[in-house]
Amino acid sequence: MQNTPLSGRRIQETNLRQITGVSVVGIWERGRLFPAKPDTVLSELSVPVIVETAGQIAEIESLLVIYNINYHPVLIIGCGNVGYAVASALKKKEVSFSFIPNGSTFG
Protein backbone atom coordinates (compact mmCIF):
# COMPACT_ATOMS: atom_id res chain seq x y z
CA MET A 1 0.00 0.00 0.00
CA GLN A 2 2.99 2.17 -0.67
CA ASN A 3 2.22 5.85 -1.08
CA THR A 4 -1.47 5.47 -0.22
CA PRO A 5 -3.47 6.54 2.83
CA LEU A 6 -4.26 2.84 3.45
CA SER A 7 -0.75 2.12 4.73
CA GLY A 8 -0.63 1.73 8.50
CA ARG A 9 -4.38 1.12 8.78
CA ARG A 10 -6.24 -2.05 9.74
CA ILE A 11 -8.27 -3.65 6.95
CA GLN A 12 -11.51 -2.90 8.80
CA GLU A 13 -10.49 0.78 9.10
CA THR A 14 -10.03 1.14 5.34
CA ASN A 15 -13.77 0.66 4.71
CA LEU A 16 -12.92 -0.82 1.30
CA ARG A 17 -15.87 -3.21 1.41
CA GLN A 18 -18.32 -0.44 2.28
CA ILE A 19 -16.90 1.99 -0.28
CA THR A 20 -16.21 -0.34 -3.22
CA GLY A 21 -17.72 -3.73 -2.34
CA VAL A 22 -14.36 -5.54 -2.59
CA SER A 23 -13.35 -8.28 -0.18
CA VAL A 24 -9.73 -8.44 0.95
CA VAL A 25 -9.06 -12.19 1.20
CA GLY A 26 -5.30 -12.16 1.65
CA ILE A 27 -2.17 -10.05 1.93
CA TRP A 28 0.86 -10.65 -0.29
CA GLU A 29 3.96 -9.34 1.43
CA ARG A 30 7.64 -10.07 0.79
CA GLY A 31 6.82 -13.10 -1.38
CA ARG A 32 4.40 -14.68 1.07
CA LEU A 33 0.62 -14.90 1.16
CA PHE A 34 -1.10 -14.33 4.51
CA PRO A 35 -4.81 -14.58 5.33
CA ALA A 36 -6.54 -11.22 5.67
CA LYS A 37 -8.27 -10.53 8.98
CA PRO A 38 -10.15 -7.38 9.96
CA ASP A 39 -7.37 -6.40 12.38
CA THR A 40 -4.53 -7.00 9.88
CA VAL A 41 -2.49 -3.82 9.50
CA LEU A 42 -1.51 -2.90 5.94
CA SER A 43 2.15 -1.92 5.64
CA GLU A 44 3.99 -0.07 2.89
CA LEU A 45 4.91 -3.52 1.50
CA SER A 46 1.41 -5.04 1.65
CA VAL A 47 -0.37 -6.01 -1.54
CA PRO A 48 -4.02 -6.80 -0.77
CA VAL A 49 -5.44 -9.82 -2.59
CA ILE A 50 -9.04 -8.89 -3.35
CA VAL A 51 -12.11 -10.54 -4.84
CA GLU A 52 -14.18 -8.24 -6.98
CA THR A 53 -16.24 -7.72 -10.11
CA ALA A 54 -15.18 -5.64 -13.11
CA GLY A 55 -17.25 -2.72 -11.80
CA GLN A 56 -15.60 -2.93 -8.42
CA ILE A 57 -12.18 -2.93 -10.08
CA ALA A 58 -13.05 0.39 -11.68
CA GLU A 59 -14.27 1.72 -8.33
CA ILE A 60 -11.11 0.83 -6.41
CA GLU A 61 -8.90 2.04 -9.25
CA SER A 62 -10.64 5.42 -9.14
CA LEU A 63 -9.78 5.65 -5.43
CA LEU A 64 -6.14 4.64 -5.72
CA VAL A 65 -5.07 5.75 -9.20
CA ILE A 66 -3.79 9.09 -7.94
CA TYR A 67 -1.24 7.40 -5.66
CA ASN A 68 0.50 4.87 -7.92
CA ILE A 69 0.28 3.85 -11.53
CA ASN A 70 0.61 0.12 -12.12
CA TYR A 71 1.18 -0.71 -15.77
CA HIS A 72 0.87 -4.47 -15.09
CA PRO A 73 -2.11 -4.78 -12.71
CA VAL A 74 -2.57 -8.54 -13.18
CA LEU A 75 -0.16 -10.99 -11.55
CA ILE A 76 -0.23 -14.62 -12.68
CA ILE A 77 1.40 -16.99 -10.22
CA GLY A 78 2.68 -20.11 -11.99
CA CYS A 79 2.93 -20.89 -15.67
CA GLY A 80 1.40 -24.33 -15.82
CA ASN A 81 -1.67 -25.09 -17.93
CA VAL A 82 -3.91 -22.68 -16.03
CA GLY A 83 -1.33 -19.88 -15.90
CA TYR A 84 -0.69 -20.26 -19.62
CA ALA A 85 -4.44 -20.20 -20.41
CA VAL A 86 -4.91 -17.07 -18.31
CA ALA A 87 -1.95 -15.36 -20.00
CA SER A 88 -3.28 -16.28 -23.45
CA ALA A 89 -6.76 -14.94 -22.66
CA LEU A 90 -5.36 -11.69 -21.25
CA LYS A 91 -3.07 -11.23 -24.23
CA LYS A 92 -6.03 -11.61 -26.62
CA LYS A 93 -7.86 -8.88 -24.67
CA GLU A 94 -4.69 -6.73 -24.68
CA VAL A 95 -4.51 -6.70 -20.85
CA SER A 96 -0.99 -6.24 -19.45
CA PHE A 97 0.19 -8.77 -16.90
CA SER A 98 3.22 -9.96 -14.98
CA PHE A 99 3.91 -13.50 -13.84
CA ILE A 100 5.88 -15.48 -11.30
CA PRO A 101 7.05 -18.73 -12.89
CA ASN A 102 6.75 -22.09 -11.19
CA GLY A 103 9.53 -22.93 -8.79
CA SER A 104 10.31 -19.33 -7.86
CA THR A 105 11.43 -18.72 -4.32
CA PHE A 106 11.36 -15.56 -2.33
CA GLY A 107 13.53 -14.52 0.58
- Domain of residue 36: give its range: 1-68
Beta-carbon contacts of 22 under 8 Å, excluding residues fewer than 6 positions away, are 16, 50, 51, 52, 56, 59, 60
* Residue 26 binned pLDDT confidence (cut-offs 50, 70, 90): very high
Examine the domain organization and report whether 90 and 43 are in the same domain. Answer: no
Examine the domain organization and report whether 75 and 33 are in the same domain. Answer: no
Could you give the CA distance from residue 60 to residue 55 in angstroms, rounded to a whole number? 9
Examine the domain organization and report whether 62 and 76 are in the same domain. Answer: no
Examine the domain organization and report whether 74 and 64 are in the same domain. Answer: no
Beta-carbon contacts of 79 under 8 Å, excluding residues fewer than 6 positions away, are 87, 99, 101, 102
Domain count across the chain = 2
Examine the domain organization and report whether 10 and 55 are in the same domain. Answer: yes
- % pLDDT > 90, the chain: 21
pLDDT at 107: 43
CATH number at residue 20: 3.30.70.1450
- Whether residue 97 has pLDDT greater than 70: yes
13-27, 30-44, 55-69: which range is least confident on average?
A: 55-69
- Whether residue 104 has pLDDT greater than 70: no
Note the helical H segments in the chain: 11-14, 16-20, 54-64, 81-92
Examine the domain organization and report whether 54 and 20 are in the same domain. Answer: yes
